[in-house]
């Protein structure tokens, strides 16, 4: 992956989050007015939840802009992990927001309240169109920050579909319990997906091996290369869920020539690109060379 392509992709992701932020914030303000007009607690609760989404999207936009910066003396790998920080914060906000919706919806199962069904239909259609447009804008983005922002907005789309279904039914049947019931089902569904993404985000934050990469297979492939006697200290992690890093120590025969070493390094880098790893550091060592590294905890391994 070339730097120019990567930078273009990051800029496109930032632009998408920016557009989604303004769409969501504008509709949130309209939603508050609509909730008061229709006397719908569901819409007002969703407005509060959307306000939290807007703040999260704004934060995502800012952190995405920061993550587009190149490397400097302070952050040698650049600022891409700021995008991962945005994904982590958005995940936490979405979890708390979902819990808030549940605390409002569950009591309404036992104490349903009448609403303005016609007004709910109108706002549901507008909500689906606006939030749906924002989701489409973020569709296909690979970094976790944009994906979590899209999940925020997808939750809103599903919520408004539920409101539309309920409001149409309420036009003909007096069944207000359907509103909180559907809200609970949708919130639980979204919460399940959020928790799954939360686990992935935390794993990446703790520098776990990225999903889709088997470090044992990587080690076996490197050992199978010509000239390679053994490898050690192999580490693979991700900057933001999309841009991965590989470091390893490769032991070669003492008689290996400079040309063979250069060829070996190129083979390793080409292989890394094939498995979506763009940052590669391969330390080549001779068999008789003393390789002692200080590990975490103070011990030394050779």
Q: For the chain, which domains are there?
A: 3-205 (1.20.1510.10), 215-301 (3.30.70.1350)
3-state secondary structure 38-102: HCCHHHHHHHHHHHHHHHHHHHHHHHHHHHCCCCCCCCCCCCCHHHHHHHHHHHHHHHHHHHHHH
Label residue 82 exposed, middle or buried (CB < 10 Å: 0-12, 13-18, 19+). Answer: buried
pLDDT above 60 for 263: yes
More confident residue, 100 or 250: 250
Distance (Å, whole) CA 56 – CA 87: 9
Distance (Å, whole) CA 283 – CA 265: 9
pLDDT above 90 for 97: no
Backbone angles phi, psi at 113, to 5 degrees: -125, 145
pLDDT reported for residue 31: 77
pLDDT reported for residue 13: 61
Q: What is the pTM of this model?
A: 0.63
pLDDT confidence bin for 41, thresholds 50/70/90: low
Residues 58-88 have pLDDT tens digits of 776 776 666 667 777 777 767 777 777 777 7
Distance (Å, whole) CA 19 – CA 150: 12
Distance (Å, whole) CA 235 – CA 3: 22
């Amino acid at each position: 992956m070339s730097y120019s392509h990567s930078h273009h992709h990051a800029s496109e992701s930032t632009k998408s989050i920016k557009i989604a932020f303004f769409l969501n914030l504008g509709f949130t303000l309209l939603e508050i007015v609509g909730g008061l007009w229709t006397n719908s607690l569901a819409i007002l609760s969703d407005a509060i939840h959307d306000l939290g989404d807007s703040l999260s999207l704004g934060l995502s936009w800012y952190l995405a802009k920061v993550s587009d910066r190149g490397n400097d003396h302070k952050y040698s790998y650049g600022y891409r992990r700021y995008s991962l920080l945005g994904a982590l914060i958005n995940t936490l906000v979405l979890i708390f927001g979902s819990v808030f919706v549940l605390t409002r919806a569950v009591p309404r199962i036992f104490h349903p309240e009448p609403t303005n069904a016609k007004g709910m239909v109108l706002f549901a259609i507008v909500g689906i169109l606006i939030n749906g447009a924002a989701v489409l804008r973020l569709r296909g983005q690979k970094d976790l920050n944009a994906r979590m922002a899209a999940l925020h907005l997808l939750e809103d789309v599903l919520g408004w579909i539920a409101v539309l279904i309920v409001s149409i039914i309420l036009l003909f049947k007096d069944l207000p319990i359907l509103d909180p019931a559907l809200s609970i089902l949708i919130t639980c569904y979204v919460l399940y997906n959020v928790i799954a993404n939360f686990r992935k985000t935390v794993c990446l934050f703790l520098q776990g091996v990225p999903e889709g990469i088997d470090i044992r297979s990587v080690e076996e492939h490197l050992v199978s290369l010509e000239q390679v006697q053994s490898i050690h200290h192999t580490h693979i992690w991700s900057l933001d869920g999309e841009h991965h890093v590989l470091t390893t120590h490769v032991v070669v025969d003492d008689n290996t020539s400079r040309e063979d070493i250069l060829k070996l390094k190129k083979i390793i880098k080409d292989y890394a690109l094939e498995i979506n790893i763009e940052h590669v550091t391969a330390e080549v060592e001779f068999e008789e060379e003393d390789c002692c590294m200080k590990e975490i905890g103070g011990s030394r391994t050779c």
